[in-house]
A and B are shown apart, each in its own frame.
Chain A
Amino acid sequence: MNSPANTPRQVKGPARAAIGNLERAAASSPAQTDSPAQENAAPLLSLEHIRKSFDDVCVLQDISVQVSKGEVLAVIGPSGSGKSTLLRCATLLESFESGRLSYGDLVIAEDNAQGQAVYASKHVQKQARARFGLVFQNFNLFPHFTVMRNIASAPMRVQRRPKEEVHEQARALLAKMGLSGKEDMMPCELSGGQQQRVAIARALALNPEVLFFDEPTSALDPELTWEVLTVIRNLAAEHMTMVIVTHEMFFARDVADRIIFMEDGAIVEEGRASDLINDPRHQRTKAFLSTYAAKR
């Protein structure tokens, strides 16, 4: 399982983003030793040796991923490679059979003596949910709520924050998404790109530590894709920690610090974003990227 291709490459060449680069390089280094210095930089998200199968078909085989604060990780790969399943396991929408999942110091699932993953209590899972946000491929906005209510409902009802504060934040987020003045519109009155930006604002309103994107532009026309990608780019510039499952290779190269290429439920190659896209090492990565380039 642990093929040499799994080992992240050494950082080389000029850093894409100047700030926090050393930190990221350190945190994403392959050596997960127990030295005290590394404990301080405990990864925001840690998946270790995740295995999952659907009806005897193995969809995730021994996947390990760490994401540290401020890092942008892109996950690419062909359909059915397990990248979406991995993201759904990390966001507790699916359970896995064995492996360990933790958010910082919060352990969500861990193997027991028999090597089967045992999930923490509902209470702990709820705490974990407060730490991440998820943006879906098909937005999943609440169609019966206005834009404002879509964004403000969870902060008010789940986090029990005061309405004034939440609405103020929601308006600021809408402004950031380029959607000022759309507060009272219904999702059905918006374009797909606008809806997806509302969905991003809805996720951000809960102040998550890490934001997941599950193919955020796959349901969008090319011209609408651009506006959503711009928003994600801006979030990356602010060092929002993000995990992005995407088919947009060049976007992944530009916005991510690190890319994982998955195929058949396994990580084939992992490395610095520009290296992996521009100069893939593994034969299967090359093959995948070349078919992608041919389609463009």
Chain B
Amino acid sequence: MNLLETKNLTAFYGDFQALFGIDITVAAREVIGLVGANGAGKTTLLRSVTGLLSAPKTAITFNNEPIGGARAETLVKKGIAMVPEGRKLFPSLSVEENLKLGATTKREGAWTLQKVFDLFPILEERRQNPATKLSGGQQQMVAIGRALMSNPTLLLCDEISLGLAPIVIADVYRALPAIRAAGTAIIVVEQDISQTLRVADRLYCLREGRVVLEGPAATMNRHAIADAYFGAVH
């Protein structure tokens, strides 16, 4: 049974259509890679799934329940959490306050403040600091931890490597196996294909609002991905 399924999902910004009938599935505990160039619709797809962008009701099902167009705050309670692009930490709040705000829904599950600190020990030292005074990598850890605090069954990560040094990216990505082991499926949106291939079970490649390539990450050919990514003409 699929945890998440989109069927012919469309999305609009005013008159501008950003998604043209997207069909994707995510099974429980699966890690999905979503790649594509700027403007391919990756973030739009995530925003539709989280409810920040409206969608036709039956176009998205989560745990066999149609959730398209539901409000984001309701979907968090059902178990969908997002690490937004650019981290979007609350600058007025400390690290600990940011994390605790993530637990507002009081969903039961494996993640607690202490478990997040175990996953990212540096955050425990910095817990009293204003969140945005941390380094980029540490801020990304806060953003991931904050999403985990709602004990999601589906975690959406939007460009979590953006603007980080390679060594820091490795640090951040090291957390994914533990997150999955706790029972969470993950969608990773990245522009960096090799990073995505390392962590994902399956891959979807988006171009101009459509899925142009999909399959298990293990069998994916880098050239095929590059072609799909840039829309090479054969």
User: Do A and B share a complex?
Assistant: no
| Chain B residues close to A by CB (< 8 Å) | none
| Chain A residues close to B by CB (< 8 Å) | none
